[in-house]
């Protein structure tokens, strides 16, 4: 049966690249321009059921307001009768977190470059009255040229400049400023600076400055700013971090002072901003003012009986450019949040093998055609651990299994993926070990 690719308006939709509790993110291509985009898909019924209309409307509006080279760009918002589609810039370099996992820590110069781009983006947000409130390496993406892009404005706040304190306690515990925990109100700009300081420490050290087995002990350390810099930090870096990780928000260094600090300004090239674009929120209002209306045609793919075929555009973006080696990279020392392996076994055999392994790991299996969700409880019983797997046909009799974390701890996912690969060793194909006449496939291996 011929497979029809799914289309949403002018966008041809491909694989899922991310999945959460309330949304799914898919790779797509603008059929008019050929541009790669990411589409965040949310169900209208889920949004209404959880009373999230205003929160999502705010997040989308904020992303339109804070247009900057170091912030993921929001192109437009569309809606069908049942779903909302947020069209975003497709950032193919992965998370900065992945780079830290791969390398352990980054050099001071490389850390400084990413930090400079982060501060440029955060300063731009603050100039628009926007405070991110959930800055962490997992929310910092890298484009194909290694430039940093801030993402995920789901917890951000939009206030009138100089309009008092924020009161919502939010963010990721290890990165949150001490005053946010006090419930007495806080300055969003100062709280973002603290989070940036924690990020800089993680980049250069490869581990968190504040980490404890329980939240009470963690918050105590954060409130006292109890941390120690490793020996390889330069004196300038230590002094700079001390100014950012100041538990008193009133004396903590501010963005304008950060940009003048001797450690920061080394090799600093300020980002060139385009002339301020007029922000048009008409599409946001159209989608949310009457959430039941239909605005865009949506056609689903028909993939019954066989896996979805991955086209050339998807393969190129998946491999982060024209170097296809990353498609077949299965190094055990570097496991990203989204991972993949290749098999020459029939798709049904792959699915059956994964099901068997999942059951042996005491994971609950939900399957629909050639896509599976594996669910279990986190090791520390802190919540649900979930993984999504999907099988794609990349060539005749050659299948790629895309594996990604849906919920749970990222390090726990790393351990899960290692065990999964070990148990599936008999179906995972290593191109260098077979098809000796295929020079291209040999080039795809590490």
Predicted local distance difference test score (pLDDT) of residue 325: 40
Choice between 252 and 384, residue whose per-residue pLDDT is larger: 252
pLDDT at 147 over 80: yes
Q: What domain range includes position 46?
A: 6-91+292-299
Catalytic residues: 134
Residues 406 and 330 occupy one common structural domain: yes
- 3-state SS, residue 109: helix
User: What CATH code is carried by the domain that includes residue 138?
Assistant: 1.10.510.10
Highest mean pLDDT: which range of 41-50, 122-131, 145-154, 368-377: 122-131
Predicted local distance difference test score (pLDDT) of residue 304: 52
SS3 content of the chain, % helix, strand, coil (to 5): 35, 20, 40
Query: What string of DSSP letters covers 251-264?
Result: TS--HHHHTT-HHH
User: What CATH code is carried by the domain that includes residue 65?
Assistant: 3.30.200.20
Residues 204 and 352 occupy one common structural domain: no
| pLDDT per position as a tens digit, 199-253 | 999 999 999 999 887 888 888 999 999 999 999 999 999 999 999 999 999 999 9
Sheet architecture: strand order including 24-30: 74-79, 83-89, 36-43, 24-30, 11-19, 6-8, 298-299
CA 134 to chain centre: 12
DSSP state of 320: T
pLDDT at 321 over 50: no
User: What CATH code is carried by the domain that includes residue 365?
Assistant: 3.30.310.80
Residue 156: pLDDT band (50, 70, 90) is: low
pLDDT at 444 over 70: no
- Report percent pLDDT > 70 for the chain: 76
Q: Is residue 324 part of a domain?
A: yes
Q: Is residue 431 part of a domain?
A: no
- 3-state SS, residue 173: helix
- E-strand stretches of 9-73: 11-19, 24-30, 36-43
Residues 83 and 103 occupy one common structural domain: no
CA distances to 109, 229, 231, 278, 446 from 234, rounded to whole Å, are: 11, 10, 8, 43, 35
| pLDDT per position as a tens digit, 15-30 | 888 777 678 888 899 9
Q: Is residue 341 part of a domain?
A: yes
Q: What is the pTM of this model?
A: 0.67
Residues 237 and 322 occupy one common structural domain: no
N-terminal to C-terminal alpha carbon distance within the chain: 36
Residue 56: pLDDT band (50, 70, 90) is: confident
Choice between 199 and 170, residue whose per-residue pLDDT is larger: 199
pLDDT at 332 over 70: no
For residue 248, how many other CB atoms are within 10 A of its CB? 10
427 vs 79: CA distance, rounded Å: 41
- Residue-averaged pLDDT of the chain: 79
Mean pLDDT for 260-286 is: 80
Residues 146 and 257 occupy one common structural domain: yes
Residues 328 and 207 occupy one common structural domain: no
Residues 106 and 241 occupy one common structural domain: yes
Residues 87 and 101 occupy one common structural domain: no
Q: Is 24 annotated as a binding residue?
A: no
Residues 59 and 148 occupy one common structural domain: no
Q: Is residue 226 part of a domain?
A: yes
Predicted local distance difference test score (pLDDT) of residue 129: 87
Residues 139 and 210 occupy one common structural domain: yes
Predicted local distance difference test score (pLDDT) of residue 442: 34
| pLDDT per position as a tens digit, 110-131 | 999 999 999 999 999 999 888 8
Cβ contact 79:294 at 8 Å: yes
Residues 213 and 357 occupy one common structural domain: no
pLDDT at 86 over 60: yes
β-strand 24-30 against 338-343: which pairing, if any? Answer: unpaired
Mean pLDDT for 373-392 is: 77
Residues 207 and 76 occupy one common structural domain: no
Mean pLDDT lowest among 52-56, 68-72, 349-353, 408-412 = 408-412
């Amino acid at each position: 049966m011929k497979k029809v690719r799914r289309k949403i308006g002018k966008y041809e939709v491909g694989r899922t690249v991310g999945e959460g509790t309330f949304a799914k993110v898919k790779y797509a291509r603008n059929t008019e321009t050929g541009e790669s985009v990411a589409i965040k898909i949310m169900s209208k019924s889920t949004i209404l059921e959880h009373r999230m209309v205003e929160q999502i409307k705010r997040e989308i509006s904020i992303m339109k307001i804070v247009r900057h080279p170091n912030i993921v760009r929001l192109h437009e918002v569309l809606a069908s009768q049942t779903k909302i589609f947020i069209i975003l810039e497709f950032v193919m370099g992965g998370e900065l977190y992945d780079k830290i996992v791969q390398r352990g820590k980054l050099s001071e110069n490389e850390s400084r470059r990413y930090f400079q781009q982060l501060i440029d983006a955060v300063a731009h947000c603050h100039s628009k009255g926007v405070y991110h409130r959930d800055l962490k390496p997992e929310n910092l993406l890298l484009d194909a040229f290694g430039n940093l892009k801030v993402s995920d404005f789901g917890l951000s706040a939009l206030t009138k400049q100089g309009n008092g304190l924020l009161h919502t306690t939010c963010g990721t515990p290890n990165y949150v400023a001490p005053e946010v925990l006090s419930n007495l109100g806080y300055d969003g700009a100062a709280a973002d600076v603290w989070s940036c300081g924690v990020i800089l420490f993680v980049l250069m050290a490869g581990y968190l400055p504040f980490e404890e087995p329980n939240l009470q002990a963690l918050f105590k350390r954060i409130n006292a700013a109890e941390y120690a810099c490793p020996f390889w930090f330069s004196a300038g870096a230590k002094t700079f971090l001390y100014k950012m990780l100041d538990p008193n928000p009133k004396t903590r260094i501010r963005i304008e002072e950060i940009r003048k600090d001797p450690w920061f300004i080394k090799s600093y090239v300020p980002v060139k901003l385009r002339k301020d674009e007029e922000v048009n929120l008409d599409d946001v209002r159209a989608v949310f003012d009457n959430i039941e209306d239909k605005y865009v045609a949506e056609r689903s793919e028909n993939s019954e009986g066989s896996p979805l075929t991955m086209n050339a555009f998807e393969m190129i973006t998946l491999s982060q450019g024209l170097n296809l080696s990353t498609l077949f990279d299965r190094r055990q020392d570097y496991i990203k949040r989204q991972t993949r392996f290749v098999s020459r076994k029939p798709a049904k055999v792959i699915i059956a093998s994964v099901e068997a392994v999942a059951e042996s790991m005491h994971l609950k299996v939900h399957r629909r055609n050639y896509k599976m969700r594996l669910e279990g409880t986190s090791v520390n019983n802190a919540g649900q651990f979930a993984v999504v797997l999907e099988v794609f046909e990349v060539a005749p009799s050659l299948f790629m299994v895309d594996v990604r974390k849906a919920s749970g701890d990222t390090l726990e996912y790393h351990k899960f993926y290692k065990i999964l690969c070990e148990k599936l060793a008999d179906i995972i194909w290593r191109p260098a070990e077979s098809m000796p006449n295929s020079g291209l496939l040999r080039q795809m291996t590490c």
